[in-house]
Amino acid sequence: MENDIKSAIANLMKGQPPGNREILQEISVGSEFIMDFWKEKYLANYLARGGSKIKFVTGRTGSGKTHFLEILAMEAEKMGYISVSLSARQIWLHDFKEIYIAILHQVRLLERLQFCSHEVIRQLGYEPEIIPEGINFADYLSSQGQLDPLTKREIRQQLDSFFLANPLIDNNFAVACALLTGGILGHPMLEEANRKLLMLWLEGSREAKLSSLRRLGLSPSKITKYNARHMLRSLVEVCCLAGFKGLVISIDNMEVLVSANSEETIRYTRLKREDAYESIRELIDEIDTLKHTMFVFSFDRSLMDDDVKGPKSYQALWMRIQNEIESQRFNRFADIVDLDRLIDEVYTPENILKMSTRLGQVINRFNAGATHISRNTAEELHARSRFGKVSLPRKVVLTTIQGGAE
């Protein structure tokens, strides 16, 4: 735990979340203003009933964007969603296939299909819990003398009903999932080489030979940026079949689109940046074709303020989001959440003191020497919070940890 605290302090000093969910929740103040609203309106109702939504979160350095995304991931998981956390510093945004693949990896499809296999078992009149560890369903039935041709046929029919009869799942995606789930059940048998082949295709790998896939009953085409959204819709539906309410997907650090930092591993040319904006524009226009899905894009204020390289430079995207930016009142329904505008409604001197106190309590449990800020300091930070490149939450963290250093 002491190492966790040291790591958490180091992350907080860099303007990053602590990296530990228990610590994150303990020091969080103010996020409930938006989070409680999102939980009620979106997670508990709109998304759960089949809706999909795109949100944008912005603010200056240290305004709590990544912190907010981690709290969102925690709350979404508590409410039955699968959370996916991505960074634009690690995946390309100009090709939606890259986003789909990154989501697929974090979703851990084979684990979700394990849950689907449990539902198939229940539909056949058995309980998954009765199957001994280390053997599959078919082996269990065989040991009981119950794996007869009629039962094998019923297993196949259940797989077809579960996946192929679902209109929200791409047919080839459905065939692949049915075969993989059959492999988990033990019938129909699936050789390891074919399991790997199916996963390679689902991941958009060039190593997946289409001729070999056809022999498995698929009539596939390669996954590209043009059909990746359709594949994502299929993936979300499979996750829902596995018992989850949907996916909450966050993509942080989008300011990399305009970054001139030579140390960034991903650097955008003008054409790739415009392709990224077009990809987001297409996602906005087609979001209603997805179900049970929430995308949250997060970026530093520098992206929005850059007239030459930012979204304002790409009219097709800017026309869809500009009205949200120009609103004068803080609207929790708005699709763009500017965390810097929470100062008057959330980051009052009282809450600044609460933030500092909670942070200090966590740090001082290990004698790390945090200094609780005074009421006068809290009022001064609040008064100065609209100025400078660093936002209020990070100023509070630095003042608590370093006694005023910024």
- Give the model's pLDDT for residue 1: 56
How many angstroms separate the first and last alpha carbons of the chain?
27
pLDDT tens, residue by residue, 69-91: 999 999 999 999 999 999 999 99
Q: What is the number of other CB atoms lying within 10 angstroms of the CB of residue 2?
A: 10
Domains and CATH numbers, the chain: 31-95+230-342 (3.40.50), 107-224 (no CATH), 349-402 (no CATH)
134: left (phi over 0), alpha (psi -120 to 50) or beta: left
Of 364, 368, 253, 240, which Cα lies nearest the Cα of 299? 253
- Give the model's pLDDT for residue 406: 44
- Give the model's pLDDT for residue 211: 93
pLDDT tens, residue by residue, 128-153: 999 998 899 999 999 999 999 999 99
Q: Which residues, other chains included, contact 45 with Cβ-Cβ below 8 Å and sequence gap of 6+? A: none
Q: What are phi and psi of 248, to 5 degrees?
A: -115, 115
pLDDT in tens, the chain (406 residues): 556 667 776 776 666 677 777 777 777 776 788 899 999 999 999 999 999 999 999 988 878 888 899 999 999 999 999 999 999 999 999 999 999 999 999 999 999 999 999 999 999 999 999 999 889 999 999 999 999 999 999 999 999 999 999 999 999 999 999 999 999 999 999 999 999 999 999 999 999 999 999 999 999 889 999 999 999 999 999 999 999 999 999 999 999 999 888 778 899 999 999 999 999 999 999 999 999 999 999 999 889 889 999 999 999 999 888 755 445 566 778 888 888 887 767 777 787 788 778 777 777 766 556 677 777 877 777 777 777 677 777 777 777 776 644 4
E strands, 60-116, where? 82-87
- Give the model's pLDDT for residue 14: 65
Q: What is the number of other CB atoms lying within 10 angstroms of the CB of residue 211?
A: 6
Distance of alpha carbon 299 from alpha carbon 318, whole angstroms: 15
Distance of alpha carbon 165 from alpha carbon 170, whole angstroms: 10
Distance of alpha carbon 309 from alpha carbon 273, whole angstroms: 8
Distances (CA, A) of 319 to 268, 277, 301, 366, 399: 22, 12, 18, 51, 40
